[in-house]
Structure 1
Amino acid sequence: MRTTLIAMAMAFLLPAYHVHAEDYYAIPGKGNTENPGTMSRPWGTLEQAAREGKLSKMRGGDRVLLGSGYHGHVKFLGDNKTMVVIEPIKGEKPYLGRLTITKGSNWTVRGLTISPSCGGKEYSRNVVTFAESGPSHDIVIEDCFVYTTKDTSKWGPKEWMSANSGILMGRHGENLTLRNNYVLNTRFGISLCASNSICEGNVVSDFSGDGIRITRDGITVQYNVIKNVYVGEEDGDKNHDDAIQCFLFNKGTGTVKDVVVRHNLIVNQEEEGRPYATIFQAIGFFDGPLVNFRVEGNVIGVKHWHGVSLYDAQNCTIINNVIFNPWGGRFTPWIMLGSKQNKAHGNTVTGNYAHKFNFKADQTVKKSDNKEASEKVFLESRRRLIDSINKRFEDRHPVAGRRRLKE
Structure 2
Amino acid sequence: MVSICRYNHVFTCWPSTPGTHPHRCPAASAWVSILVPTRNRLSFIIPSAICSTAFRPIPTGIAAGVTVPCPASPRWRRLLDIPARPPLPGCPPVTDFDPAVAAAELLTVRDFLRYGVSRFNAAGLVHGHGVTTAHDEAAFLVLETLKLPVDRLDPYLDARLTTPERKAVADIIDARVRTRKPAAYLTKRTYIQGVPFYVDERVIVPRSYIGELLFGDLFGGDGFTLVEDPTEVEHVLDLCTGSGCLAILAAQVFPNAKVDAVDLSAEALEVARINVADHGLEDRVTLFQGDLFAPLKGRKYDVIITNPPYVSDESMAELPPEYRHEPAMALAGGGVEGLDIVRKILKQAPKYLTPEGGLLCEFGTGREALDAMYPDGEFLWLETADSFGEVFWLTREQLTEL
TM interval, shorter chain, is under 0.3
| TM value normalised by structure 2 | 0.28
Higher share of residues assigned strand? 1
Greater RCO structure (CA 8 Å; 6+ sep): 2
| TM value normalised by structure 1 | 0.27
Higher share of residues assigned helix? 2
Query: Which structure has the larger Rg?
Result: 2
